Structure 1
Amino acid sequence: MWAKNQRAAARKTAENAARRAAGETGVPYAGELSQGRLEALADVDPGWCPTWEIGWQRCYRLTLAHVKASGALPAGAGELIMQGEDLGVWIAAQRAGWDKLMPAQRWLLESVGIEPAAEGEMPAAGAPRSQNARWAASLTAARQFHAREGHLLVPRKHLETIIVGEEADSGREEVVKLGAWLDNARRRAAKLSPQRHAELDQLGMRW
């Protein structure tokens, strides 16, 4: 309960700061955390109050649990799928988009052995993937679009390029027909598993 209250206070602090920065006056300071308190909590755990989307945190937690169980990080797409998430795809996307991550996200990734992609890494062919892996790749594209645009109103013909894996010292790009995939998901909404339905709900999917 204490941790939950601290996270709520931290989010309120950030929201109020944004309101003040936008020029709003009369925003009360009651219930906010001091900068010193925020920094102290971040020193203990940079990911204690994530401001990024829940899908990212879910994949990180799955990766953390795998590493804590003495598991090796996947070297490519389809090698490690946990609870429907292709962690090889997710890890490759983090490495490729390292510069766009928050400092706390980078710290969390480094803590489980994930590092930024090396300069000059080239695309490489990937192995055939399962249906779950294909879903994970398309979901990664949806999350990438949502993180960049702030919504999931994707044009029918939109194509989204993601990094889907790595092999040796290379990575592979894949172009996902994101608009078509989302339209198909809407048509098949009644047949989707509760988990897949929830994954799209988390991105504000309009059914």
Structure 2
Amino acid sequence: RRYYEREGDLDVPYEHTESAYPLGRWLSDQRRAYRAGTMNGERANELEKLGIVWDTADAAFEENLAAARAYYAEAGTLAAPRHATALDRPVGQWLTNLRRPGGLGKDTGRARRRAEQLAAIDPDWNPRLLGWTVDWQRCYTGLHALLDAGNTLEDVQPGVTYRGDDIGRWTARQTRDWAQLNTEQRRRLEELGVRPRAAVRAQKAPARGAAKTEAGKSSEAFQRGVQALRQYIAREGKTTVGRQHVEELPDGTSVRLGVFLSNHKSRRDKLSNDQRAALTSLGLDWA
């Protein structure tokens, strides 16, 4: 009742809690009881006065939507592979089904509402409407995350992965097949500094000065990562960092520390002696 008085309806997200009480889950249970015919009339009337929607299809959608929110919080995208799960739900297959023609339901009002709910989580939840595949969207998100973590494009070579996708190989393929990309794909990649292969070669021609500049950027990114790790260890007293952890430096810089460590561990054979020494001094045995 408190939720209804505040919000004016009982459109409660499945994962919502009210003063630590799992209200969304409780309402889902009430809908199941109503469908099974085990709810008494008095309780049903009370809930109907507050505007409960008994439609079990909507209830199931809300539960899956909660899983989609959880997946997005972890992955930064709803371009989930089919096998992806979240909150013990097959969110990848669920999203795949929704993207199919008519997947949002035959009722146009309901379909529009569901699309809006998904877009509120991730505006690009259905990449096919934009002219590219779910896999492309997921890898683009992965490249964005790697660059946000302080890596440069030079760092993202074939073999560099993000959540199981080889982002280095994918990026190389984009530069090679640039002519096959649509205008919006090119624009997004250009914002990340990705260029067609011919343009990259032309940029590398003058070379030495540019190479030094790129090396300098890579060195700066490494130093920021070390600074973030040192700060994390001082605060937490451990070197174990979750892959999605972001560390805020005093100057306001955000460092994706978990990604930084994962990438450097996978490429430790390419680290310089100074870089190895810096990481070893902080207690990273693998360096």
Mark the structure with the bigger radius of gyration. 2
TM-score by length of 2: 0.27
Larger strand fraction of residues: 1
TM-score by length of 1: 0.35
